[in-house]
Amino acid sequence: MRKGMGMVVAALLLAGCGGRSEAPGQPDDGLSGPKQLCTTPAGDWQRLDPAALELDAAKLQDALDWANLHTGLSVAVYRHGCMAMQSRLDSMTANVPLDGWSMTKTVVALLVGRAVTLGLVKLDEPIGRFYPEADAEHARLTLRQLMTETAGMQVNYLRELNPAMPDRVQDALSLPFEHEPGSTWEYAQTVVDLTLNVVERAAGRDVQEFAQQELFDPLGIQQGAYIWQRDRAGNSLGYAHLWMRNQDWAKLGHLMLWGGQWNGQRLISTDYLRQMRTRVPDNPAYGFLVWLNGGGWWRVPAVEGPDSGEGSVIPSGPDDLYAFVGIGEQRIWIIPSLDLVIVRTGERGSQELDTRVTAFSGRAGQIDWEIPRRVLLAVKDAGYVDPGPYQSAGLVLPPADDGIIGDAFELQQVMAGLGLGPLSPEACSLFGCTAP
């Protein structure tokens, strides 16, 4: 399927054809007034010629053409509050909502930020007041622990990613603990569904209604322009499956870039956004459900076994880069020091044999290296030391008894994802869960 899609993308593109920043001073923290040359969009983004944005149009086109040829279905570059350029395929895909997968997690963190700003929740308050059905151990969890992926609960990917799970919130409240909460980073899924549900219970209304009224409406994201999936119990999914258009994903990225303000309205406090981009001690590449460059070392989702490394998680990007990240190489790359946002949605596009990149994993590969690099080469008003083209590690196979392969042997965990067996939530079955 992906090979076929790649051939279609290549054919359409051909038919249409006929590092590190050296900017002086300290990197902008993204919270203090970037330059804005276009009107804040109430609907669609205002377009401005790349030259007016200090971007080389030919190099920018090269970057977007490369992205299309690597299965990017909708790719656009924004600078100084303007859309600089869309890919050639965007003539067909720009208004099509595409699944952001785990980019949804960062949207959850923004919704928590809105709830914190409104005084509905506190980051370090135990969530138990919203969950009378929770046992003492789960009731002591905090939003900070949930959003930093340090809740400490057991992770089994085959359980967590089971699309037939009857109730993801009750499942999260049933997970056993393996680590002291707050101590150990481990990328989990259902804890993010629980995080989103905390916002729902704190707001006293459906969280999608809260999101529309409190976040999306101010940003000009229309209710009919996106899709947000739910589980079988009606809980909105927090770990994945918010489908949006490129320009709407860009609005969410700019809300962070612009320090939580939109058209003069304060939506999220600057204090919250600084905390959101504070590095987790056990993984300096992570904040509140957002990925951070320049941390010195990193961990990424360990679905093939533990995976970590030295340096920046995206080595070709500046240290101040941060990103919304989803499986299939869905990305919003934000570079505050250059006032730059790049949005890429589509299918997985890294063409290499390293399964830590091409299988379900978070390791940065060809896409994370080349798209930011090629766009940065188009920036005319800041220096960039070109690290050169991406070099793959070559053939790397997954371990035979670790990660998701090892998860398959935890049969009771796998069954729990269906609401079956001794580890499933109380009052849940294959057919659903009774109300707590």
* Helical ranges in 81-141 per DSSP H: 90-93, 103-117, 136-139
Does pLDDT of 29 surpass 80?
no
49-74 pLDDT per residue, tens? 999 999 999 999 999 999 999 999 99
Quick check: 36 and 355 in contact, CB under 8 A? no
Inform me whether the pLDDT recorded for 27 exceeds 80. Answer: no
Who has greater pLDDT, 402 or 388? Answer: 388
Q: Cβ neighbours of residue 73 under 8 Å, at least 6 residues apart? A: 9, 89, 93, 96, 98, 345, 346, 347
- Least-confidence region, from 87-96, 185-194, 217-226, 425-434: 425-434
The region of weakest confidence among 25-34, 242-251, 303-312, 399-408 is 25-34
Beta strands in 251-294 (DSSP E): 261-262, 265-266, 291-292
* 8 Å CB contact between 220 and 226: no
For 302-348, what is each residue's pLDDT tens digit?
777 778 999 999 999 999 999 999 999 999 999 999 999 999 999 99
Task: Report the residue count for the chain.
Answer: 436
Condensed to tens digits (0 to 9), the pLDDT of residues 108-133 reads 999 999 999 999 999 999 999 999 99
Report the pLDDT value the prediction gives residue 436, as an integer from 0 to 100. 67
Query: β-strands 98-99, 261-262: how paired?
Result: unpaired
For residue range 168-180, list pLDDT tens digits in order.
999 999 999 999 9
Pairing type for strands 340-346 and 428-429 reads unpaired
Asked if residues 160 and 423 have their Cβ atoms less than 8 Å apart, the reply is no
Average pLDDT, the chain: 91
What is the predicted pLDDT for the residue at 398?
78
> Among 76-80, 300-304, 401-405, 408-412, which stretch is predicted with the lowest mean pLDDT?
401-405
